[in-house]
């Protein structure tokens, strides 16, 4: 993603933060929709207890709160390119490890058992599909167990002009070819929304 597109994304969610504050709408969800997508993330099918977890594109730390509400204790790290959202996450969860970070320009120096990307690439900007591929490749290099990624399905007949959609089948083929032969795709939990799980083995 070029710098102008990143500035647009940061500005877009900065405005949402000013409008909505600490609500799911700030990151583009309803509260119910966000919860259901987090529940889909847990379909990764592994015991997360005590594991080292990266929440990439963590926003204001809602997935961290979701895990805490379910008494799932993990070694959590949250990363996002938006400093305003990270600042709010730190205020809410001073014990959490939240960082302003962009894997396209910053060097990731640690590995994680599980990596989660929930709704990270839903805002339409130029060249985003290529960015999605590049980011997933880079992150998977730092994943010891599994990675969960979700996106809006391009099969949706009523697409919003502001949002970015991906074809589930194309993402599955990309993952098998470029990440791992161990890939699972769930397209049955939410309408026109899919979650892909990629495992080391």
End-to-end Cα, the chain, rounded Å: 30
Residue 153 pLDDT grade (very low, low, confident, very high; cuts 50, 70, 90): very high
| Alpha-carbon distance values, 52 to 55, 60, 77, 78 (Å) | 10, 19, 8, 11
Domain that holds residue 52: 3-199
Locate 140 and state its tokens. Answer: 């998977």
Residue 37 has a pLDDT of 96
The predicted model gives 98-123 an average pLDDT of: 95
| CATH number, domain with residue 91 | 3.40.50.150
- Per-residue pLDDT tens digits for 158-188: 999 999 999 999 999 999 999 999 999 999 9
- With CA atoms as reference, report the closest residue to 110 among 143, 132, 83: 143
Residues above pLDDT 70, as percent of the chain: 100
Task: Flag whether pLDDT at 2 surpasses 90.
Answer: no
3-class secondary structure, 56: strand
3-class secondary structure, 147: strand
- With CA atoms as reference, report the closest residue to 33 among 23, 18, 43: 23
- Per-residue pLDDT tens digits for 39-77: 999 999 889 999 999 999 999 999 999 999 999 999 999
Q: Total structural domains in the chain?
A: 1
Owner of token pair 């590995």: 111
The predicted model gives 133-137 an average pLDDT of: 97
- With CA atoms as reference, report the closest residue to 36 among 192, 140, 164: 192
């Amino acid at each position: 993603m070029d710098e102008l597109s990143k500035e647009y994304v940061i500005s877009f969610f900065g405005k949402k933060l000013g409008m909505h504050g600490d609500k799911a709408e700030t990151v583009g969800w309803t509260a119910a929709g966000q919860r259901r997508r987090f529940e889909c993330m847990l379909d990764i099918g592994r015991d997360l207890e005590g594991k080292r977890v990266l929440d990439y594109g963590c926003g204001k730390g809602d997935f961290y709160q979701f895990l805490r509400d379910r008494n799932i204790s993990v070694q959590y790290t949250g990363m996002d390119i938006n400093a305003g959202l990270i600042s709010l996450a730190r205020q809410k969860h001073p014990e959490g490890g939240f960082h302003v970070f962009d894997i396209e320009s910053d060097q990731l120096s640690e590995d994680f058992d599980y990596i989660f990307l929930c709704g990270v690439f839903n805002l339409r900007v130029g060249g985003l599909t290529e960015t999605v591929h590049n980011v997933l490749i880079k992150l998977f290099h730092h994943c010891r167990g599994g990675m969960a990624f979700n996106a809006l399905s391009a099969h949706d007949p009523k697409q919003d002009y502001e949002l970015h959609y991906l074809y589930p089948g194309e993402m599955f083929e990309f993952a098998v070819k470029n990440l791992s032969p161990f890939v699972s795709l769930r397209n049955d939990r939410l309408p026109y929304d899919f979650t892909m799980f990629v495992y080391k083995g």
